[in-house]
Amino acid sequence: MIEVRKYNPEDKELWNGFISTAKNATFLFNRNFMDYHKDRFVDYSLLCFKKGKLVGVLAANIVGNELYSHQGLTYGGFVVQSKTKFEEYILIIEYVLKYLTTHKIEYLYLKELPEIYTSSPSGEFEYIRFLLDAEIIKVDISSTIKMDSCIAISSNRMEGYKRGLKFGLKIIEVKGLDSFWNEILIPNLREKYNVSPVHGLNEMKLLKKCFPENIRQFNVYDKGELVAGTTVFETNNVAHSQYISGNSDNNKLGSLDFLHYYLIKEVFKNKSFFDFGISTENEGRSINKGLLFWKEGFGARATTYKTYKIETKNHANLSQVFI
């Protein structure tokens, strides 16, 4: 039997301790990350106990009578430990869905954590979502390099890298975010897409202060002038370029090609994966072809970020699985 209850602030230390040793979690699930935007969401995160011991968590928020994998996070799902066996995993999900049904919550929208982020095989949910008749309602495509494979970088990207060498560009990891945000990223997003970064500058500065080893800023300079940069989210397995941007001289200087060649070949060469982020728009229905072309030029290939819709009443489908 699994006991399920809602998270409350007194659980913070327990929650964070569990996340730090889980097989399918990153620092994004740490409450110090999740809580930076707690005013935007009604938190409905859940903890699952077996004989009084925490065995699973779900980062979530509620909207009406529907529960969502926390909408402030890129990915989500049921978080467990490496020692969790399949039968217990099914029980955790069954009892969570029962709990939600009891509390009149009809649907769970679950954003699955891509397996590149897991420390051990984590395909349990692929089978369970089949049993639950879960509906795929969104798929995003990210571009990922498997770092221990032969990375075939295209001639276009190599030409950009060589231009960076020719112009004598310098790459520096900096502690501050202000210059990149204010001089490059925000103006570019506003001009090209009329949007702002998902994270505000002050929010990102707060997060970087909380997670200095996980959030890193790399800037590119031409004769002392900032011309490009990227903000990297680093986890155990993955270096993920969260924000990438260059000024109007990027094509001439090759600044972003130069930067990412260096990150892939030097800074993060011992990571399992380097991830450029998604190129999909319109709820996954459209792909930014130019952006995808640039990322694939580094040898990156598709990783999927899937979102499922689950009817909570289908918990009954899990009760008679084993024979």
161 and 43 fall within a common domain: no
List, for residues 63-109, the tens digit of each pLDDT value.
999 999 999 999 999 999 999 999 999 999 999 999 999 999 999 99
pLDDT for position 37: 86
Asked if residue 45 and residue 132 are part of one domain, the reply reads: yes
Average pLDDT over residues 197-217: 95
11 and 74: one domain?
A: yes
Q: Are residues 75 and 178 in the same domain?
A: no
Residue 283 lies in a domain: no
Q: Are residues 173 and 194 in the same domain?
A: yes
Residue 195: the pLDDT is 86
Same domain, 240 and 187: yes
Q: Are residues 228 and 314 in the same domain?
A: no
Q: Is the separation of the CB atoms in 96 and 4 below 8 Å?
A: yes
The two structure tokens encoding residue 214: 């996980």
48 part of a folded domain: yes
pLDDT digits (tens, 9 = 90+) for 251-287: 899 999 999 999 999 999 999 999 999 999 999 999 9
With respect to residue 64, please indicate whether it lies within any of the assigned structural domains. Answer: yes
In which domain, by residue range, is 231 found?
149-271
Q: Based on the domain organization, do 173 and 219 belong to the same domain?
A: yes
- Please check whether residues 157 and 267 belong to one and the same domain: yes
Burial letters for 204-231: b for 16+ Cβ neighbours within 10 Å, e otherwise? bbebbeebeebbbbbbbbbeeebbbbbb
Half-sphere exposure of 272 (CA within 13 A, CB side): 10
Q: Are residues 108 and 128 in the same domain?
A: yes
Q: Which of 68, 122, 85, 123 is nearest to 307 (CA)?
A: 68
Residue 228 lies in a domain: yes
pLDDT of residue 16: 99
* Proportion of the chain above pLDDT 70, given as a percent: 100
pLDDT for res 249: 87
Q: For position 220, which CATH number holds?
A: 3.40.630.30
d(CA 137, CA 143): 20
Using CA atoms, how far residue 41 sits from 46, 47, 70, 71, in Å, is: 15, 18, 8, 8
Looking at the structure, do residues 18 and 135 belong to the same domain, yes or no?
Answer: yes
Q: Kindly report the backbone phi and psi dihedral angles of residue 55, in degrees, each rounded to the nearest multiple of 5, phi listed first.
A: -125, -10
Specify if 288 maps to a domain.
no
- Give the list of residues 6+ apart from residue 198 with CB closer than 8 angstroms, or none: none
CA dist 160 and 48 (Å) reads: 50
pLDDT of residue 265: 97
Instruction: Output the pLDDT for position 251.
Output: 85
Residue 107 lies in a domain: yes
Q: What's the whole-number mean pLDDT along residues 204-209?
A: 96
**96 in a domain, yes or no?**
yes
Tell me: do 117 and 166 sit in the same domain. Answer: no
For residue 276, being part of any structural domain is answered with no
Number of domains the chain contains: 2
Residue pLDDT, tens place only, 139-177 = 999 999 999 998 899 999 999 999 999 999 999 999 999
- Provide the pLDDT for residue 198: 87
